[in-house]
């Protein structure tokens, strides 16, 4: 995913539309407002006060914005709509009107339609079908031992199965040089009390690119920095990247758990000072990488290398 920085006149049109979505049910929430301010400065380089932005008709918006920029704008409207709670029917209607005028149609709109219509089971199934979680399970089958490997990974995550030989490979990272990627990964797990793959409650191997993303990026495991990991992952992910952003915004913006297992959730996390701008920066960091870590990335040959060297080779810029 590559963020588009539009021309100032297009930026103003888009910002007017985003304000309408943020305020469709009344005053915008704190995280939605923070997103508008961050978009104004980070993406658009504009100084116009948000409160001075006038409403815009779909036809006027469509006259100035089309193509990939129009799709990015609609995605931004959805993120703003979920910033402080579940997307309302009025906000979805407004987004749909703008999308139709700009001839934008992408899978997330159809997924969210099911939620708005209160078909929550269908909504969650469709979301998971497009999400990185489904892709992780598929990769576990394809690259980690077939259906047996998938069963071991899922049962291990539930604490029902152990694979000592697999766990030992990860525990050995602790013996690597202190500044190596593997040693940083080992400390990340031990300091956070995580179980390694192969240990009880350990994550399937196909999904630990998420933790490597934490280690490489420097983002911690707080709700706010999990949002940043979502942005980074969407940046480097080639398949359905917007669903990663939607996943973290649902979990940490709207307070909706979209995983099949219990997860802590929160609301309005991007209202924390500085996080909305850092979220945009995280997407750009991921978009600048030359490798999709979620696509069967082979980390094993890299774990003994200095972490700075690995970051440089992946094209991961500093925050």
**Domains assigned to the chain:** 8-105 (1.10.3680.10), 146-314 (no CATH)
- pLDDT (0 to 100) of residue 203: 78
- pLDDT (0 to 100) of residue 149: 60
Instruction: Identify whether the C-beta of residue 248 lies closer than 8 Å to the C-beta of residue 228.
Output: no
CA distance 8 to 6: 6
**Range list of H helices, 51-163:** 58-64, 67-81, 89-101, 107-116, 120-130, 132-143, 146-157
- pLDDT (0 to 100) of residue 55: 96
pTM of the model: 0.91
On the CB side of 293, CA atoms within 13 Å amount to 32
* Residue in 313, 319, 305 with CA at minimum distance from that of residue 219: 319
- pLDDT (0 to 100) of residue 257: 83
Tokens 């480097």: give the residue.
236
- pLDDT (0 to 100) of residue 138: 67
Secondary-structure percent of the chain, ordered helix, strand, coil, rounded to 5: 65, 0, 35
Spell out the per-residue pLDDT of the chain, length 319, in tens. 889 999 999 999 999 999 999 999 999 999 999 999 999 998 888 889 999 999 999 999 999 999 999 999 999 999 999 999 999 999 999 999 999 999 999 999 999 999 999 998 888 888 887 777 766 666 665 666 686 666 666 655 666 677 899 999 999 999 999 999 999 999 999 999 999 998 888 878 878 999 999 999 999 999 899 999 999 999 999 988 999 999 999 988 888 887 766 777 788 999 999 999 999 999 999 999 999 999 989 999 999 999 999 999 999 999 8
């Amino acid at each position: 995913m590559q963020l588009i920085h539009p021309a100032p006149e297009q930026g103003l049109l888009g910002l007017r539309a985003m304000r309408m979505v943020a305020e469709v049910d009344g005053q915008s929430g704190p995280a939605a407002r923070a997103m508008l301010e961050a978009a104004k400065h980070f993406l658009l380089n504009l100084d116009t006060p948000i409160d001075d932005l006038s409403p815009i008709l779909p036809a006027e918006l469509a006259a100035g914005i089309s193509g990939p920029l129009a799709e990015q704008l609609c995605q931004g409207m959805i993120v703003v709509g979920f910033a402080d709670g579940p997307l309302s029917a009025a906000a979805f209607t407004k987004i749909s009107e703008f999308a139709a005028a700009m001839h934008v149609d992408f899978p997330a709109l159809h997924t969210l339609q099911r939620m708005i219509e209160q078909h929550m089971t269908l909504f969650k199934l469709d979301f998971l079908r497009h999400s990185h979680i489904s892709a992780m399970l598929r990769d576990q089958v394809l690259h980690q031992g077939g259906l047996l490997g998938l069963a071991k990974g899922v049962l291990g995550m539930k604490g029902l199965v152990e694979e000592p030989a697999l766990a030992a490979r990860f525990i050995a990272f602790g013996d690597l040089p202190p500044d190596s990627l593997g040693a940083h990964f080992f400390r990340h797990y031990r300091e956070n009390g995580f179980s390694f793959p192969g240990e009880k409650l350990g994550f399937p191997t196909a999904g630990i690119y998420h933790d490597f993303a934490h280690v490489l990026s420097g983002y911690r495991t707080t709700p706010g920095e999990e949002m940043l990991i979502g942005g980074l992952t969407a940046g480097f992910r080639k398949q359905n990247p917007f669903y990663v952003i939607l996943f973290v915004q649902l979990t940490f913006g709207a307070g909706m758990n979209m995983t099949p297992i219990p997860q802590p959730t929160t609301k309005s996390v991007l209202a924390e000072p500085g996080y909305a701008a850092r979220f945009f920066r995280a997407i750009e960091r991921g978009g600048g990488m030359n490798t999709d870590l979620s696509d069967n990335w082979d980390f094993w040959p890299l774990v003994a290398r200095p972490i700075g060297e690995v970051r440089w080779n992946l094209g991961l810029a500093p925050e």
